[in-house]
Structure 1
Amino acid sequence: MSNRRDFIKLSSLMAAGAFLPLQFCGRPDTVVGDDRSEEGLDRFGIQLYSVKDEMFANVQDTISQLGSYGYHYLEGFDGGKGIFWGMKNTEFKKLVEDQGMEFVASHANVFQNLEEQAKQAGEIGMKYLICPWVGPQESMDEFKRLADEFNRIGKVCKEEGVRFAYHNHGYTFEELEGQMPQDYLLENTDPDLVDYEMDIYWVKTPGADPKVYFEKYPDRFKLCHVKDRMKDAPQGEADASTDIGEGSIDFSSILRVGKENGLEYFFAEQERYDASTPMRSAEKNAEYLRNLRLA
């Protein structure tokens, strides 16, 4: 997210350095060609940060409009009034369900008030609370402490009937002291307690391969952000988000490998709008995902 890093960093100071930052159910038929059946995404959602300004302006109207685009589920974030936007958890659930969608997950400050957040999420049948940001760490010892903390958080969430996941940024795919932090986290967190949300954009930005990670760590990445990169963006360029399908990322093959290795939830996300508006891009992104064929 172009301004998301600043937003998250401000929130992280408040959290002692730890925090933040349908569709029409897809076509059930398959298209046969070259002796291979092609499948699409039966269900997909959107990360609400993609339309954050609209959410801040009018939660009800924004969610209603997203429902009209064909999204099947939503992933939230804490916009300053909690993950339920100042409503009771049951009220927010009803708002979303009245538009034909499901509130399945939210990015949240899992380092503060965890028990209450997990309890409220579990009460309304949410599937995940997700840590969206920990920031670059100075040493692998810091990531080792984070792995232990993730296991603790996952245990609390599990006791309340909700799963915990960590959402990556590029810094966990950059070597530190001869190790890859993302690999360390995957290998030192309990699969029974901790899942992962792959932000495909942030895997590609530092030059890693999403398909390699899906295959190397099957059933660990349960959710993903489908976020595209501008075709002319150099490796390492952070601010290069664009409408899905107009960039350089081959989602057709990446998501196929992901699904084959346990990927279940697909959230459109976009953070930059050069020739459009967030809601227009949200509509275009829904159309792209509805028509996507997995190769």
Structure 2
Amino acid sequence: MTRATLLFILLLTGTVTVRAQHFGKLVQKTPGIVSYTLRESFSKDVPGTLDKIKAWGITDIEFSSLFGKTATELRALLDQRGLNCSSYGVSYDAIDQKPDSILQNAKVLGVKYIRIGSIPHQTKATPELIQKAADVFNRFGKQAKEKGFMFCYHNHGFEFQPYENGTLFDFLLKQTNPDYVGYEMDVTWTFLPGQDPAVLLAKYPKRFRLMHLKDVEKGVAHSDKGGMANAQSVVLGTGQIDWPAVLKAARKSSVDHFYIEDESRAAEEQVPQSLAYLKSL
């Protein structure tokens, strides 16, 4: 009996199974993408943009807007292409003032996560602002969990103001119930305020559920403003982020989904390059 014949028999009998092919050695599953990356394309042609994403081999999307579609219409377009919306991004005011509508849309979209991108603020973060947000997060997070979803907060940089023996971000984590509130790490908005994303992941290994993979051009100064010029959002691996360190830490954490977020006007050219870099790691 040849080795090939023996393997065929073992497969038929279920004695051995074939492991699914991995995307890469360090990033084992093809990362998703944030709809904001292709915001201009989505605003003009949702079906065509979805086709573009599928052609890149990406099937997982985090939508930060419905782009003029109802949740039902968008879900139908995704289903037609075998695509999945795993995370639904909404506003702070929405989870605070119209949670039922958000939860209904999330159900239709079939998501696992609901997230917001920042806490509204006019000045630097304060303990009072963070505590108020924590109360909103805990309340909505409980409502979300009761419906089968996980709520996540996406850090935006300004939360890393020094406070007590750490930062206001540490304070926010302490004030939020881990059963109801998870976090989405934006790697650039963690790095630019002076934090080490890998260290933060190791410090809170069970709090981060989602991650935005975004790099920043070399030479850009540290800042907690949570913004940069579009041209400063560069191909992963060509900027300032130590991706091997970050991704190794993420693999030891509770991060469930990785999404490429490229804010550049050249995102359509850069995303395939970022995918190739991640696959090479």
Please report the TM-score for the alignment, with normalisation by the length of structure 2: 0.83
Aligned to 1:211, the other structure's residue is in SS state helix
Q: Which runs of 5+ in 2 are unaligned?
A: 1-18
Higher helix proportion: 2
Is the 1:140–1:177 contact (alpha carbons within 8 Å) kept by the matching residues of 2?
no
Tell me the distance in 1 between the aligned counterparts of 2:96 and 2:102.
10
Aligned to 2:274, the other structure's residue is in SS state helix
1:168 corresponding residue in structure 2: 155
The Cα offsets for residues 171-217 of structure 1, whole Å up to 9 and x where unpaired, read as 01122577511101111111110000000000000110111111111
**What aligned pairs does 1:1-295 form with structure 2 within 5 A after superposition?**
27-28=21-22, 38-78=25-65, 83=66, 85-109=67-91, 110-136=95-121, 137-176=124-163, 180-236=167-223, 238-239=227-228, 240-273=232-265, 277-289=266-278, 291-293=279-281
**Aligned-pair Cα RMSD in Å:** 2.2
Tell me the distance in 2 between the aligned counterparts of 1:208 and 1:131.
21
The Cα offsets for residues 59-84 of structure 1, whole Å up to 9 and x where unpaired, read as 11111101101112000112xxxx3x
Instruction: Give the count of matched residue pairs.
Output: 253
Tell me the distance in 2 between the aligned counterparts of 1:65 and 1:128.
24
Judged with a 3 Å threshold, the aligned counterparts in structure 2 of structure 1 residues 26 and 246 are, in CA distance, closer, same or farther, namely farther
> Alpha-carbon deviation of 1:123?
3.7
- Of 119-128 and 203-212, more deviation after overlay is shown by 119-128
The Cα offsets for residues 30-61 of structure 1, whole Å up to 9 and x where unpaired, read as 8xxxxxxx433313101111111111111111
Tell me the distance in 2 between the aligned counterparts of 1:61 and 1:179.
46
Tell me the distance in 1 between the aligned counterparts of 2:223 and 2:118.
18
Tell me the distance in 2 between the aligned counterparts of 1:172 and 1:41.
31
Tell me the distance in 2 between the aligned counterparts of 1:29 and 1:270.
20
> Alpha-carbon deviation of 1:119?
2.0
Larger Rg: 2
Is the 1:252–1:292 contact (alpha carbons within 8 Å) kept by the matching residues of 2?
no
Judged with a 3 Å threshold, the aligned counterparts in structure 2 of structure 1 residues 216 and 63 are, in CA distance, closer, same or farther, namely same
Judged with a 3 Å threshold, the aligned counterparts in structure 2 of structure 1 residues 41 and 28 are, in CA distance, closer, same or farther, namely closer
Q: Which runs of 5+ in 1 are unaligned?
A: 1-24, 31-37
2:11 corresponding residue in structure 1: none
Judged with a 3 Å threshold, the aligned counterparts in structure 2 of structure 1 residues 245 and 98 are, in CA distance, closer, same or farther, namely farther
Please report the TM-score for the alignment, with normalisation by the length of structure 1: 0.79
The Cα offsets for residues 116-168 of structure 1, whole Å up to 9 and x where unpaired, read as 11122124421111111114455211111111110001011112222110000
Aligned-residue identity in percent:
29
Is the 2:185–2:210 contact (alpha carbons within 8 Å) kept by the matching residues of 1?
yes
Judged with a 3 Å threshold, the aligned counterparts in structure 2 of structure 1 residues 249 and 141 are, in CA distance, closer, same or farther, namely same
1:3 corresponding residue in structure 2: none
Tell me the distance in 2 between the aligned counterparts of 1:163 and 1:28.
26
